[in-house]
Chains A and B, each alone.
Chain A
Amino acid sequence: MPGKLVSQGKNQEPVGELELKTYLLEELQLARPVRAEIAGQSREVNRGWRLTVIGGPFTVRAMPAMIWIAGKLAGYGVESTDLQKISVVIFDRSLLQEGAVIALSYGERDPLRTELPERLTLNPAR
């Protein structure tokens, strides 16, 4: 599903055990509303945000990739066809905080959890 670019990082140097580089944030306008759980409550939403972590190529593993924003789980990641991106769709807008740390792990308290070198930017003009 195509999305509208919100922001993207620029780093191209891989960092950490998982060799992360940068990220891409897109807004998605849904063709029809879907129900999503937000802050523990089921709500109907018609838009979401796709956060993509770029790096790798990532190894296909049994444990799912987990994307974190400011220490909160954004969701389980889905690998791209070229295994150089892992994406998660977010419906809870409150997770997207200016300056938040983005991290990737395999498992909840994975000792190899790796943070992106760039913080999340919601307004690239700033």
Chain B
Amino acid sequence: MKRALLILIVFLCLFLFLSDGRLRSEAQSSDPTASGPFTVMREEYDFGDTAFTPTGFPSAVELRGSVHYPTNSTGGPLPFILFLHGRHAVCFQGTMGGAFTWPCPAPQLPIPSYTGYDYIAQTIASNGYIVVSISANGINAFDNMTADLGAIARAELVQEHLDLWNAFNTVGGAPFGSKFIGKIDMQRVGLMGHSRGGEGVVRNFLLNQSLGSPYGIKAVFALAPVDFSRFVINNVALAVLLPYCDGDVSDLQGVHFYDDARYNVAGDAAPKHTMLVLGANHNFYNTIWTPSIFPAAAGDDWTGMLRDSDPHCGTVPGNGRLTDALQRATGLAYIAAFLRVYVGGESQFLSLLTAAAPPPPSAGSDKIYVSYHAPDNPLLRRDVNRLLDATNLVTSTIGGAVTPSGLVPYDVCGGPAPQTSPCLAQIDQRQPHTTPSLLSPAPGLSQLITGWNAATGSLIHDIPVGQRNVSGYEALLFRASVNFDDARNVAGAAQDFRVLLTDGAGSTASVRVSDLSRALFYPPGAVSSVPKVVLNTVRLPLLAFAGVNFTDIRSIEFRFDQVAQGALLITDIAFASGPTGAVFPPLFTICLKDDSSRAELLFNFATGDYIFCCGDRIFTGKGVVRRQGTTVTLVANEITRRINAKVELSARRGTASLQSPPGMTICTIIDRNIADNICSCGQ
């Protein structure tokens, strides 16, 4: 009986251990695509087709855009997001494309590419952001005549719009009058650019920096971007979305933005991310470039006589392509998550960006592979091996011995000479990390190219003295891709191996990569620019390595014993954690202000962060927010205080009470019109 009881207890303990959410590499996350509680208004502004001339540009261009903003958010000032579309046809008439010139000759009309991201703007704005999308047709019509293919012109156009919105925020002006005065936080700015617009927003970050950073650009999202000039940005959160079936920027050169920035600046406090989306093309992130939605000059960039036959990206039955609606869902999920995390401080979506959580169901696909490069902060990242040159084949970045066994080849490739580049005997479009740049000789990504002929291969990194306490990190991370050009990998089959950590007492714990990561998938496709090697993050939570002393880790071993043979490309081996602290200053999207006293309560409806000003006292913390329709409640039950608040957004009124200690009410708020609030609590 006792034995049976003991077995039951052991079984229960094992069950609880294995079901611990921290053990799974893919924790659950919040849904960034969910609409927020705020009512959103969309308006346009237009200063004419020739209102602005970028420096040295061969033509004047338009100053035109749209704004989505919450009408009933009383917090703030609110963060500011700006979208910039990419290169596309510029004029249309009826269902036909029109002249490729600017301004459009009558009766033709400008193609409204800038409205193609309204589906993203609407969602983000409903969560308490001001979202602007700007038109760049004039630049599209003439940018091939410029030396940088329009990068600085786009950057200047973005800066001009930022200046405009700074004016709307400070002194007001037509067409919005005083509507936005004091409503915008121009120190919390996020940019998203698509295609050439992706390089444009990267270039704008550098331009804004060169002007003394008048605007606080906190995050830059490059969507299927070009990277002609290899601009590198640091100390700003960066994300690059790479559509696997991109038929335009088919070499996915935008991955260089991530690769180039990783170790470029010592102490770089900013995280970097990529998202590889299988089945996605270049155009369908913009509704105006999508033929099922807009009739003129739209199309599937992948299609063509040859490409149609591709089993993944083509049009054959059973292919891996996403519908345009599903593709937009992937963009919405990751653009919203990234901007809300790094501009709005809504850290509840962070796990989506660090490979710690799978795509949310609303993303429309689970074939989205994320890479994450942690800030260069010793508390958040300890590089084990950057694999930047041949010395890292013998000695790691932290000075430990690196010992291969049974690995052929065992070399670095893709980086600066004397490394071989590209790594594979394949066309550039299949090797994004090393694809050449049109306007820069910068080298590609240095990476380990290796493989094993029998299930006895291994790669051991010794951890030297002084580097062995890794207990403060969440996970062991590295980037890897299956080398489809090596016949040792079975076509269509995922790869796998084990990772072992050994501590100073000789205890070893191992995990199988496939139990915790999907990154070792076999790249699909067979035609034109696919398959591709894109290195994605394998994230192995340290808690999965049960039984070793994380304060004294002596070695990391990759043991290739799960598949008889195989070949991989690997880089960026590090212990790391998700960004924390100052990266996420709380954002308050709702404010209640008592009609007669000075009492104020500000809170974020998504995160529950609050600040309550009661007389001369200030209370901060995190409560629980619930939403029912347009009614939002905040409850904070803490040892020292209790807060209850209720806001009716549609009726624009609310109430709140603060008890400190619990049971003793020291402040109440009755706010009969939240729309007229000017809140200063905490400022």
Contact = CB atoms under 8 A, between A and B. Distances in A.
Given A108-B428, A108-B436, A111-B529, A59 B299 contact: yes
A79 B140 CA distance: 11
How many A residues are at the interface, by size bracket? 20 to 34
A94 interface: no
Nearest to A80: B100
Most chain B CB within a 10 A radius of its CB, from A60, A64, A79:
A60
Contacts of A61: 87, 248, 301
B37 to A, nearest CB: 37
Contacts of A62: 86-87, 195-196, 224, 226, 248-249, 282
B464 interface: no
A17 interface: yes
Interface in A31-78: 57, 59-65, 76-78
A77 B528 CA distance: 23
A106 B528 CA distance: 13
Contacts of B304: 17, 112
A112 B528 contact: yes
A77 B299 contact: no
Contacts of B438: 64, 76, 107-108
Interface string A97-114: 000000000111111100
A60 B429 contact: no
Interface string B490-520: 0000000000000000000000000000000
Given A62-B249, A64-B149, A57 B529 contact: no
A79 to B, nearest CB: 5
The SS class assigned to the A binding surface is loop
A13 interface: no
A79 B100 contact: yes
Interface residues of B, number: 35
A64 B428 CA distance: 16
B211 to A, nearest CB: 27
Contacts of B249: 62-63
Interface string B339-369: 0000000000000000000000000000000
Given A61-B248, A62-B249, A83 B86 contact: no
B297 interface: yes
A125 B575 CA distance: 71
Given A62-B249, A64-B438, A78 B301 contact: no
A60 B436 contact: no
B248 A111 contact: no
Most chain A CB within a 10 A radius of its CB, from B99, B250, B282:
B250
B429 A17 contact: no
A61 B246 CA distance: 12
A60 B306 contact: no
B88 interface: yes
Interface string A76-99: 111111110000000000000000
A64 B439 CA distance: 12
A34 B224 CA distance: 36
Contact of A83 (B97, B144, B427): B97
A87 to B, nearest CB: 10
Contacts of A80: 100
A108 B418 CA distance: 22
A59 B90 CA distance: 11
A65 B226 CA distance: 14
Interface in B261-293: 282
Given A17-B306, A79-B100, A111-B529, A60 B297 contact: yes
Contacts of B97: 57, 83
B101 interface: yes
B223 to A, nearest CB: 11
B609 interface: no
Contacts of A82: 99-100
Most chain B CB within a 10 A radius of its CB, from A62, A80, A112:
A62
Interface string B409-447: 000000000000000000111000000101000000000
Interface in B161-209: 195-196
25 contacts: A17-B305, A59-B89, A59-B301, A60-B87, A60-B88, A60-B90, A60-B100, A60-B140, A62-B195, A62-B226, A62-B248, A63-B250, A64-B149, A76-B438, A77-B144, A79-B100, A80-B100, A82-B99, A82-B100, A106-B248, A107-B250, A109-B429, A111-B306, A112-B306, A112-B528
Nearest 10 A-B pairs (CB), nearest first?
A62-B195, A60-B89, A81-B101, A109-B428, A78-B144, A61-B248, A62-B87, A81-B99, A62-B248, A17-B304
